[in-house]
Structure 1
């Protein structure tokens, strides 16, 4: 009986209703509410919980390790918190009783979640709350976690209950990271994991953390699949797979839906297999991917897709033409890689230290920052992007550690075929078909009338600055364009009907590029007339006599954004196409070409269905030149010094300078004042230049610049006298005198000053009140001067140490004011008094600083720190009852200088007049002006 009484007493302690004091009565039980039954016995409860904990999936923390005593303590703690919340809620309820009436629970409904959801929730406590804490966490628990840090040697995982666990490099994966060494683990973790990624993990050990101090513990986790799923091995998985779903296989699929990051599709011949094509894997060309995706609809079929990786029951797929074409060469294991070979792959991650290139599966190589390009690149994201197709040169392979070191330099990885431009035209064809499909046009039959190399008839619809726009009678939706250089001397007018030669067709845009050049049109007509003599014979293409890998001399006809349209005069003016970019240079500025330029190229693909009837060429400048530059026999780069003449290429045009490159990876600038001779300064001086233009320049200065003193910025000059050597290069001396007229270019405009650049190292500025004497012009001060505009002015002050001049464009002459000019020049500071350039009788601009009370007149600002006074009688010519009412503070006015004098204590006084009758009197310089 005693035992039974103790058991009954113990069960009463576990009942939540026994903890609440009866005198407080925090809750009034509903009459219709049923009295809850006694909870199940602990034996049956423990048995049910153990069954749940043995679930092979990922339960909340695995099996229970709490004793009955610990469970009772946990319940008591939760119930005490619950009672505290009920008290706080009751107080708030009384205050809100009139506004909000609390809803009663439904009949017989018990809130199984109890006190887990904030204040005001009634009902019973949950039967069991399996909270994960440092007290109950134990080895072999399976948990879900979120990656919160990716370090070089470990991962930090956020666990339920605010806990954190750590995963060593060797515990990250038993599939990818076998035999990891110190060098590999530095870069391998960021290439696989990212912050915010959800992972499944298993607890290895819970140890005392010595670094945190006594009492703290550190949870060590593992992500090994072999531990999470007993008996699972990679060999068993791949042996059981169908050949269709193996990594490196080619499959087809039908689009099911589009997501923000890719395309989801159903893989053919795989009943339960889904696949995803990331956006960056839709094509090799960055600019076409988004356009192609925007046209995709559910039901579209991809005929060829490469299986890059397998994630559970999902396939990671790629539609990149470069990967599909070179599938047999792309490795999936380290043993398949040979040093000094060039392989196709894609960028999977870009970090500050370099780029990760992935092949098939998780096989990844690393290219250090100094190996990614032939030229120095500060920010790798300016040159490469995640998902970009690249060609990588294998520097070395460590089969033991699995470490692969790569180079992405264009000089080592340049294309030897025309797959890059071929993929561009194939994707353009797909985009065009999808566009016309949306427009409810059945096919691209209009292309049959516009074969490349054919002559078509069109009518001039519009004359533009860069050429003429044509329309076609049978194809109103198609537009033709003839650039000015392709008019062939013809004078076109609106409404003229012409026969033109087809140079190029932009299918997705519905645009046809045409030419009226005699040599092209006549050749086409001759070829057409010969073909009429034999109807059975198919018209012979001009390029059929060309052979693969044949070297030809071409002429640039059109420079497109991504490729060149070339003609081959030696082969009956056959039309070919060559890419301006390459896999590794997609984000870099291409080399400049211009119309009529001679280019050597290699035949990469003759017209065929695979090339969509185009003759595809490979520019020699991207292969042979780069081969020569990397050859050991190549001569050393010349030693450039100040005074050297160089051939430079314009790579950027800024408002005040040209950015050029010359030699091998050298960059410099041509200041706007170094473009023309003195006295020939014109606005838009740099407008005659274009990016890619080659110029002859002379080095005039070499200044160290860049981070930590690395690299140099070269100053160059294009001035004819400097190039010819007849004039000495500008030295660093400050050879200016007050009264001299100088010209400069506006570099900055603010509210009070206009800043000019006079030379590479001399600046000038103009104060707002010195710029004009007309109030209307002063009001529009910021609009009168624009960056890059040429401005001429006379020096009224200077500061030699700061190499700064003060100019005044409104003064007609300072040559006769020798005494004041000499005084300014000898002072070596700008504006000793601030008024040396102002004389009695001058008309100047001013700004009202203050309206003096009574008959005090006006205080007018006439310089940066100087003011003059307008007497009450000098405001108007005619009498007015309140002349000051016409003026306000901040107003611009035109002033006449009446007198400049000094008081006995040395203060400078300037008397001004605003009377209009004095404004027309010519300025006279008095002998007693000072």
Structure 2
């Protein structure tokens, strides 16, 4: 603090005496940018009343003067009565001005007596331009999370994390860059660049956006101000043979750090990494500062008194010699560097367990060592810390985890109307914890000092941790020890939890568990069926039962589908849990012609082919199932390494195995039961199989003939010979193609049955731009590249062949290990004496009247 402001005019002094002295400062808006607003222009208010005659004369009569005095006395009595009532109301509850002082910042604007409380950082008084000492709590791909004083948290975008990114020397798209130059637990100096407005994020807390760029932090630093013995922060701009070129964010000078120290220790750092160092020497000619980064020397280096130093040169993390000026209600006031004063919060004292008599340890004029914690250039408010870990330039260790319960925690101090300071018996050393009065009991407590005494032992649960203070936040409420979910780490896929609806949006409902942990119930999981108006189904404030679907990166999703909630089947939450034969519940995410995709808990997915959907012949999957539907399915096989699971909706197969009843490639007979648009359904005369399907293109080898046959087919027509191509659940996939029936014994059922240079019959199952897929028995498929399928490479292959077409192929290559077979469909290479295609025109596949 510098010089106090002048007292107000005598005219307002009488009224001001009734109010505590407050800081005069420019009001800042949360959304202000880093550009500093101009200082307010002082001006003088002139009285609107006319000047009174000098010499004591008066133009009023005696009677008029008495009336004026009586009127003034009546107004004074009314004003006094109003002030007395106001004073009584303030005594009934906590003083408004005490609250304002408790959460205010002051600097050289203090007038009159000393303040009652220390400078307190809150979300309301944080503004752009403020500088903080912080601890890196999280290192993510696109941002950093910084723990700030007072339990606040700030975010650093990748573009604000390094001067190299800001100068476009390194792209912020490099996902590994931040993790290569920052570590969790690292102390950093940062500056506020933006604070979100209250209306920016109505459903969440306002965010504090920070920058670690030295261009902003060292904006007021000049080369002339640099002195030997100073501690400066720089980043590694480039790595040379003998050392590192350092940059301070300013173009006027640079720095150099030797690769090896005097004791032979060699440092290994990355480009862009922040370093703290002590100035060893200054080359004024080259404007180069030579640094030493010995951690022991840096941690013990104290900032010297510099003549004419300004508050803009104060950087968080500076260690200073200070003297205790006075003790306040919740901390102490220090004077340092001759010109400045600052305050130390009670949670930043040297003793991390200050008792009720803590003031006795801090006598006036006592010399102490402290580090600057934060600086507000606008109000000139300065906060300091005497925490032993921070003084030694290290972040306080964390020996507790959120959610842990400690039964015998000792009450160290009882703060009237505020809370309790506890000593948690953590290992290897005890941890201080603070419990707010709001977290002491489920019932309202008027006087803490009556229920809790110093030395008592209580049961506490860790609610959170302030990394910068090394202070745990605790809760004593009995309800906090109930329930299975207290933190995100307690959430397990498949667990059933209770939650309260706090918001309903178009994409789903926001659910809050009792402990405060939030989750999302997606719209498809709010009910078994589609919901057009979710707000009618879910009411805000309603308490419902949910089941956890998954938890990833603290993002929890839950379901309210009744089938999943009531399911007693085993939860499938990992690919390693998918054992053969496991029966469980899942929900369909996508339906295609060849099958259904099913999802389980924790993002596990599987696929059920069409043959395992339990469908009747000719029935499409989308006519029986819909996306979001909960299904009971059975695991056929699983490959955890490739994250693949094969499923079946047929829980108890009614038929035996193919070996016990019928095999691929055998011939059966069947009677037409009905004709559908795409296939003919037949009753198969074979044990274990009651129905079979003949697709339209499989009624004959020639497309036109197949269409003609289908047009005249009637129920009751009997096919004497049908080839079993594949199994579709309890049904058979059949073919009446003469070429396939005639060569049934030669058709391959697996890759080992192919002979190179042989010519075999098959049919086209798929066509792509680069070639054709030819299928045989079951799912055995070969590929014919375009240049091996047709002679004219300019032609459109889809116009040369069609799906279902009968073909003859020449086997070019067989890779049994990879199950890859290559064919040639060119007539020149598929020459054969076989006349199946010609004979098919005159053959008769069955008996009866067409």
For CA contacts below 8 A with separation 6 or more, give which structure has more relative contact order: 2
Q: TM-score, normalised by structure 2?
A: 0.30
Q: Which has the higher helix share?
A: 1
Query: TM-score scaled by structure 1?
Result: 0.27
